[in-house]
Amino acid sequence: MKKFFLGVLIIYAVYAVLISSYLVLVETPLPAQYIGTEADPQMFMSEEQLVLSSELSKWRNVIYFIHTPFEWMIYLFVLLFGLSQLFARWSEKVVKYHLFQTGLYVILLSCVSFILSYPFKYLSYSISKQYGISIQTFHSWMKDQFISFWVGAILLIIVVHVIWFLINKSPKRWWFYTWLLSIPFTLFLMFLQPVVIDPLYNDFYPIQDKELEIAVLQMAEQADIPADRVYEVKMSDKTNALNAYVNGIGKNLRIVLWDTTLERLTQDEVLFIMAHEMGHYDLHHLRQLLLGTIALSFIGLFIVGKLYHVTIRKYGNKMNLKHHDLAAIPIILLILSLLSFAASPMSNMVSRAYEYQADRYAIELTNDIESAVSTFQRLSSEGLSDVNPPAIVKFFRYTHPPMVERITQLRKYYEEIN
């Protein structure tokens, strides 16, 4: 098993060198039809911004494509070197009740993952700060990291305990019962996130610009969004990027604007952003994504159940693992991570389609193409975004269309309806 891990490690190292070289050296020229148009970054970004955008994007892409398989290596490492088995035995020895055993095991596993992944996270933070996107202090950043650690650990404890319980009760159909329970669990998290999880990271308060709030709420009424207030979130002490969103369900639904967005965009530009975000709600994208996630999780968990059974049957003895062992949980996490990565091009493609639809909705609602275009240009320049990424980056990373395509498509649609 250790020799197998060494072989995988060599393959990973070769992959890391090749993918990094490609992402650093490849240049994606702007197609001729975009040159000189309002979608051309040369028209709205300075020479310095263009250089910084290219460098920053390459750094981010390299980190993503190296870090993602590195997470898989962590799961293999704890399995093949006996750490998972050691954590499980120690947890079962130290505490009596199954839930606490699961909790201690998951915390130990999460600590290993956090420590090994920390260099990638710190590098990403340092680069964002170096290029002026992040202005967050190290202390504040570490605070967010520890919050994320404990939020993730608590959620993982619940998930792992349920899976472990179901595997023991129903070795063949545990994946199906896990899928059934994941549906209300996902809805519950969507309900909690705006009022419980998000405030752990940032301060939310009613928007101070009451005139803008009235305009946003009037727009929300047109979109049949049941909101009676608009929230502002303090992000200016962490980032120079701009954003806004509508999230949550039921009485916890929230319309939120970053304070950086309010400070740097005009009211018409802010209203276009809000019209776009409301479009996601009115076009039922959140509901469709939820249904799609439920359907994909059924397929994914079915595959996980089959692969987990085969893995334990073929390699369980070599790893000193049985089907119902808590120590075997990293196998499930590894398979889930692999499937999630494999499905990301398709899910990103659907997300990009929704973004185009929300753009069209927003321009129909505001009929202000100039504010729409200037908004996209500002989002790109302020965030040093790569408006024309390589195809592999677009497929695996871009949940939103590249800005050069987005601006062009929106202008074309505006001319069609006018």
**What residue type is assigned to position 316 of the chain?**
G
pLDDT of residue 252 exceeding 80: no
**What residue type is assigned to position 262 of the chain?**
L
**Strands 244-247 and 254-258, how do they pair?**
antiparallel
Among the residues of 26-80, which ranges form H helices?
A: 47-80
Burial of 22 (0-12, 13-18, 19+ CB in 10 A): middle
Q: What is the pLDDT of residue 74?
A: 95
Q: What is the pLDDT of residue 224?
A: 78
Q: Tens digit of pLDDT for each residue in 344-360?
A: 999 999 999 999 999 99
Q: Tens digit of pLDDT for each residue in 285-342?
A: 888 988 998 999 999 999 999 999 999 998 888 888 888 888 999 999 999 999 999 9
- For residue 68 the two structure tokens come to 């993602």
Using CA atoms, how far residue 206 sits from 213, 223, 357, in Å, is: 9, 21, 29
Please name which of 299, 278, 241 lies closest in space to residue 362, comparing C-alpha atoms: 278
Torsion of CA 47, 130, 396, 407, to 10 degrees: -40
- Average pLDDT over the chain, rounded to an integer: 90
Active site residues: 277, 359
Positions at the binding site: 276, 280, 355
Q: Are 182 and 208 in contact (CB under 8 A)?
A: no
Q: Are 66 and 20 in contact (CB under 8 A)?
A: yes
% of the chain exceeding 70 in pLDDT: 100
Within 10 Å of residue 307's Cβ, how many Cβ atoms? 16
Positions at the binding site for Zn(2+): 276, 280, 355
**Cα–Cα dist 196/188, whole Å:** 11
CA 233, 238, 240, 241 dihedral sign is: negative
Q: What is the pLDDT of residue 282?
A: 87
Within 10 Å of residue 74's Cβ, how many Cβ atoms? 21
| Total residue count of the chain as it appears in this document | 418
pLDDT of residue 1 exceeding 80: no
DSSP labels, 346-387: HHHHHHHHHHHHHHHHHHHHH--HHHHHHHHHHHHHHHT--S
Within 10 Å of residue 417's Cβ, how many Cβ atoms? 9
pLDDT of residue 249 exceeding 80: no
Q: Are 7 and 76 in contact (CB under 8 A)?
A: no
Where are the domains positioned within the chain? 2-201+284-417
CA 255, 379, 395, 136 dihedral sign is: negative
Q: Tens digit of pLDDT for each residue in 2-39?
A: 788 889 999 999 999 999 999 999 888 888 888 999 99
CA atoms within 13 A on the CB side of 270: 24
Q: How far from chain centre, in Å, is Cα 307?
A: 26
**Cα–Cα dist 38/278, whole Å:** 25
Among the residues of 98-173, which ranges form H helices?
A: 98-130, 138-169
Q: What is the pLDDT of residue 242?
A: 85
**Cα–Cα dist 226/137, whole Å:** 37
